[in-house]
Amino acid sequence: MESRNPATNEQIGTYEKDTDEDVEAALSRSMDAFEEWRERPIREREELLANAAGVLRENKRRYAELMTKEMGKPISQAIGEVEKCAWACDHYAEYASAYLGGEHHPSPPGTEVATVHDPLGPVLAVMPWNFPFWQVIRFAAPYLTAGNVGLLKHASNVPGCALALEEVFREAGYPDGVFQTLLIGSGKVDDVLSDDRVRAATLTGSGPAGRAVAETAGKHLKKTVLELGGSDPFIVLDDADLDAAVETGVQARTQNGGQSCIAAKRFIVHEAVYDEYVERLVEAFEALTIGDPMDEATDIGPQADPELMAELHDQVQQSVDAGATVLTGGEPLDHEGAYYPPTVLTDVPAGCPADNEETFGPVAAVYKVADEAQAIEKANDTRFGLGASLWTEDRKRGQRLARDIEAGCIYINEMVKSDPRVPFGGIKDAGYGRELSEAGIKEFVNRKTVWTQ
Q: 222-241 pLDDT, tens per residue?
A: 999 999 999 999 999 999 99
Residues 140 and 208 in one domain: yes
**φ, ψ for residue 170 (rounded to 5)?**
-65, -45
- Give the strand order in the sheet containing 103-105: 103-105, 112-119, 445-452
313 in a domain, yes or no?
Answer: yes
| Helix H or strand E encompassing 3 | strand 2-5
Q: How far apart, in whole angstroms, are the C-alpha atoms of residue 255 and residue 258?
A: 5
Give yes or no for a contact between 88 and 424, defined as CB atoms under 8 angstroms apart: no
Pairing of strands 103-105, 10-14: unpaired
204 in a domain, yes or no?
Answer: yes
Residues 199 and 249 in one domain: no
SS3 of the chain: helix, strand, coil, percent, to 5: 45, 20, 35
Indicate the pTM of the whole model.
0.97
Q: What is the pLDDT of residue 354?
A: 98
132 in a domain, yes or no?
Answer: yes
pLDDT tens by residue, 189-230: 999 999 999 999 999 999 999 999 999 999 999 999 999 999
Q: How far apart, in whole angstroms, are the C-alpha atoms of residue 239 and residue 218?
A: 47
Residues 381 and 443 in one domain: no
pLDDT tens by residue, 2-15: 999 999 999 999 99
Question: Quick one: what percent of the chain has pLDDT higher than 90?
Answer: 100
The total number of structural domains that make up the chain: 2
422 in a domain, yes or no?
Answer: no
Which residues fall within 8 angstroms of residue 355, CB to CB, at 6 or more apart? Answer: 266, 319, 348, 349, 365
Half-sphere exposure of 390 (CA within 13 A, CB side): 27
pLDDT tens by residue, 137-170: 999 999 999 999 999 999 999 999 999 999 999 9
pLDDT category of residue 402 using cuts at 50, 70 and 90: very high
Closest residue by Cα to residue 125 from 451, 440, 453: 440
Q: What is the pLDDT of residue 187?
A: 96
Which residues fall within 8 angstroms of residue 274, CB to CB, at 6 or more apart? Answer: 368
Q: What is the pLDDT of residue 344?
A: 98
144 in a domain, yes or no?
Answer: yes
Residues 202 and 56 in one domain: yes
Residue from 227, 357, 372, 443 carrying the catalytic annotation: 227
Domain ranges, residue 114:
2-228+428-452
The pLDDT mean for the chain works out to 98
Residues 372 and 436 in one domain: no
pLDDT tens by residue, 69-80: 999 999 999 999
Residues 187 and 102 in one domain: yes
pLDDT of residue 130 exceeding 90, the answer is yes
For residue 221, the domain's CATH number is 3.40.605.10
417 in a domain, yes or no?
Answer: no
Residues 293 and 401 in one domain: yes
Hey, how many other C-beta atoms are within 10 angstroms of the C-beta on 27? Answer: 21
Across residues 48-52, what is the average pLDDT? 98
- Assign 231 to helix, strand or coil: coil
Residues 301 and 179 in one domain: no
Residues 216 and 236 in one domain: no
pLDDT of residue 42 exceeding 90, the answer is yes
pLDDT of residue 390 exceeding 90, the answer is yes
Q: How far apart, in whole angstroms, are the C-alpha atoms of residue 349 and residue 178?
A: 50
Residues 180 and 300 in one domain: no
Q: How far apart, in whole angstroms, are the C-alpha atoms of residue 262 and residue 196?
A: 34
Q: How far apart, in whole angstroms, are the C-alpha atoms of residue 324 and residue 318?
A: 9
Give yes or no for a contact between 436 and 449, defined as CB atoms under 8 angstroms apart: no
pLDDT of residue 417 exceeding 90, the answer is yes
Q: Is 352 an annotated catalytic residue?
A: no
Q: What is the pLDDT of residue 335?
A: 85
Residue from 85, 89, 161, 261 carrying the catalytic annotation: 261
In order of 150, 193, 195, 224, 375, the CA distances from 218 in angstroms are 20, 11, 13, 9, 37
241 in a domain, yes or no?
Answer: yes
Across residues 319-327, what is the average pLDDT? 98
420 in a domain, yes or no?
Answer: no
Q: What is the pLDDT of residue 389?
A: 98
Residues 33 and 132 in one domain: yes
Q: Is 46 an annotated catalytic residue?
A: no
Give strand ranges (E) for 375-421.
387-391, 409-412
For residue 325, the domain's CATH number is 3.40.309.10
Residues 116 and 6 in one domain: yes
